[in-house]
């Protein structure tokens, strides 16, 4: 099996594991995955302002999102986090994303927990 990775720059795997939160529409067809990377290595790059997207790679190929925000600390003005959103609009896209997420979790020894708070 190929490595599973998240990249902000082509060929450079992000080592920081993100927090990921999922939401789905009531009909289940559309939804979003919210990623937050606290102090990611990508921000150490001199050209981090050139980040154009987040790339999720696995044995099936590539999933891309261009919805990226770089967070700045209010205390010291330093860049501290990258936030990204991946949106899906079909059950097929959701299942594809979940296959990636499960591979990523397995490779990195992660588990998930459901939060059903209303």
pLDDT tens per residue, range 8-54: 999 999 999 999 999 999 887 899 999 999 999 999 888 888 899 99
| 8 A C-beta contact, residue 22 and residue 31 | yes
pTM given for the model: 0.87
| CA 14 to chain CA mean position, Å | 10
Q: Rounded to an integer, what distance in angstroms lies between the CA atom of residue 70 and that of residue 109?
A: 26
Ordered structural domains, the chain, with CATH: 5-107 (2.40.30.220)
Structure confidence at residue 1 (pLDDT):
44
């Amino acid at each position: 099996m190929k490595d599973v990775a998240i990249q902000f720059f082509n060929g450079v795997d992000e080592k920081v594991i993100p927090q990921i939160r999922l939401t789905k529409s009531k009909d289940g067809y559309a939804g979003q995955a919210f990623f937050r990377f606290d102090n990611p290595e990508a921000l150490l790059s001199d050209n981090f302002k050139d980040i154009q997207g987040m790339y999720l790679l696995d044995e099936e190929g590539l999933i891309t999102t261009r919805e990226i925000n770089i967070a700045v600390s209010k205390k010291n003005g330093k860049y501290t986090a990258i936030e990204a959103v991946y949106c899906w609009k079909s059950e097929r896209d959701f299942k594809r994303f979940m296959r990636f997420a499960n591979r990523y979790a397995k490779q990195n020894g992660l588990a998930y927990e459901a939060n059903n708070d209303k």
